Amino acid sequence: MQAYTDIRALIIDMDGVLWHGDRAQAGLVDFFQALRELKLPFILATNNASLTAEQYVDKLEKMGVTVALKEILTSGMATALYLSERYDPQTTRVFVIGGIGARQPLLDLGFKLTELYETDPDQRAHLVVCGMDRELSWDKLATATLNLRAGAHFIGTNGDLSLPTERGETHGNGAILAALTASTGVTPMIIGKPESIIYRQALSLLNVDQGYTVAIGDRLDTDILGAVRTGIRSLMVLSGVSTEQDVAAADFGPTWIVPDIRDITEILRNNTL
């Protein structure tokens, strides 16, 4: 058993860990109370780019939990930050498949977003960014395809093939990326987990050595693999997508496995893992 003092910060996934859709996981409020009592800093880092940080703050507020904007990092935010470090926002045009959570961070950093069926070659997008889109349409897919065929670079906020909801598991952004790859032959660059980009951004925000940081997630192929690639320890909850059988069949795995966040709360308060 390891002492809790060996853990100084957490990077926490949301879907499947904190809630299923709009239904909070049991023990949610107590979990965050424990983090505050222990003065344990955290970043809520989600692959789901459908909402803005402000909307996630509101969602948690409705569930009885108060968090700050600076404690949230979405794959939409991570994508905008990554692109702003490599492209000039003032001269780079972006076509976005995705909701406000994918669009707003790009706008905040000064990128110009192009519209459907932009036919002027001088106004076409340099980049196609694809995130979770609950209003996905034929026209959006067609416009993305035309831009990609014209040479735009392809960026996926995340590659999750499925999404846990209160109704069950539905398709995720990875399914949309697959459709666009099938129609264009272009493979996207992924910003979210399991790539290490979003984890490294979270570590920078926390300003804690990665050796003292633990990632919490429910997906073996994104949350846990991303932690492995980043070189940080991980704790997998069984309240979301992946199972112990999935771990047994893989050639990598989490540092620890627990049923859900209620167990994490108990572990942190008892000072052991």
**Residues acting as catalytic residues:** 13, 15
Q: Which residues pair with 117 in a beta bridge?
A: none
Cα separations in angstroms, 5 against 38, 86, 202, 271: 10, 38, 20, 7
CA 123 to chain centre: 30
With 0-12 CB in 10 A as exposed, 13-18 as middle and 19+ as buried, what is 240?
Answer: buried
Asked whether residue 193 is marked as a ligand-binding residue, the answer is yes
Asked whether residue 70 is marked as a ligand-binding residue, the answer is no
Distance between CA atoms of 76 and 132, rounded to whole angstroms?
A: 9
Asked whether residue 58 is marked as a ligand-binding residue, the answer is no
Of 192, 194, 235, the C-alpha closest to 74 is 192
* DSSP summary character for residue 5: G
Asked whether residue 251 is marked as a ligand-binding residue, the answer is no
Q: Residue 157: how many CB atoms within 10 A of its CB?
A: 34
Residue numbering of the annotated binding site: 13, 15, 193, 218
Residues in the annotated binding site for Mg(2+): 13, 15, 218
- Known binding-site residues for substrate equal 193
